[in-house]
Each structure stands twice: as structure tokens, then as C-alpha cells.
Amino acid sequence: MVKILLVEDNEMNRDMLSRRLERRGYEVIIATDGLAGVEAAVSNKPDLVLMDMSLPVIDGWEATRRIKGNPVTAAIPVIALTAHAMAGDREKAMEAGCDDYDTKPIELPALLDKIARLTGG
């Protein structure tokens, strides 16, 4: 079973997305702030991280840099999730180390395609 770490501070977004992923057979681990996301990536070794960019404690940009900067977690693919669909945000996500980028509201079929591509499943 593919294990996904969902780092999302908004309870409604977190609950909706985690339920939809679990119904499709994914194991979902939750973190509600950037620092907890970094720690969960190290301790749980997920197959993929879905990273909200606007997070408390440390933002998703910094959390991704820390995940990608740690040899233990560097190979874990990260998909940035953001409501900020501004010009340059995709480039900013890639510079932080994200492997892909998606905007909110989430279009589940497109996100599932990205997850499958990055996890080989």
C-alpha cells in the first residue's frame, strides 16, 4: 500500500482529501504544520508527501527544503498544494525541491495521476 504524508493545517481540506485518498487505497498520515511534516517524513518514510505551502510553525517551502536536504528523506517525492496560483509559484515550488505542483481546489483525477506517476503506482 502506498503511504502518503498529507501536510495540511486546514481541517476541512485535510479531512476531505485524506478520506478521498483512503477510499482509493492509499494509507494517509497527517501532519498539521510544517515542522510536524518534516518530522513525520523522517519517522514514517512515506512514499510521497502532499505539502500545503501556507502552514504554521514553518511554511511548506521551508519544510520541503528540509525534507529534500535530509539524506534520509531527500528521495521522497513532494507535491506542492497551494491556493496561490500566482505567476512564478510553480517555479518557486520546484526551486524549494517539490517534484510537482497542484493548485486548490484540488482536482482529484489530476492529483491521482501525479501521485501514480511519482510513486510508480
The model's pLDDT over 93-120, given as tens digits with 9 standing for 90+, comes to 889 999 999 988 899 999 999 999 999 8
The CATH number covering residue 102 comes to 3.40.50.2300
What pLDDT does 29 receive? 98
Enclosing domain of residue 93: 3-119
The number of domains in the chain is 1
Task: Look at residues 51, 105, 62 and name the one whose alpha carbon lies nearest to residue 83.
Answer: 105
What pLDDT does 94 receive? 86
The model's pLDDT over 51-90, given as tens digits with 9 standing for 90+, comes to 999 999 999 999 999 999 999 999 999 999 988 767 677 8
Residue 60 sits at the vertex; the CA angle it makes with 19 and 95, to the nearest 5 degrees, is 120
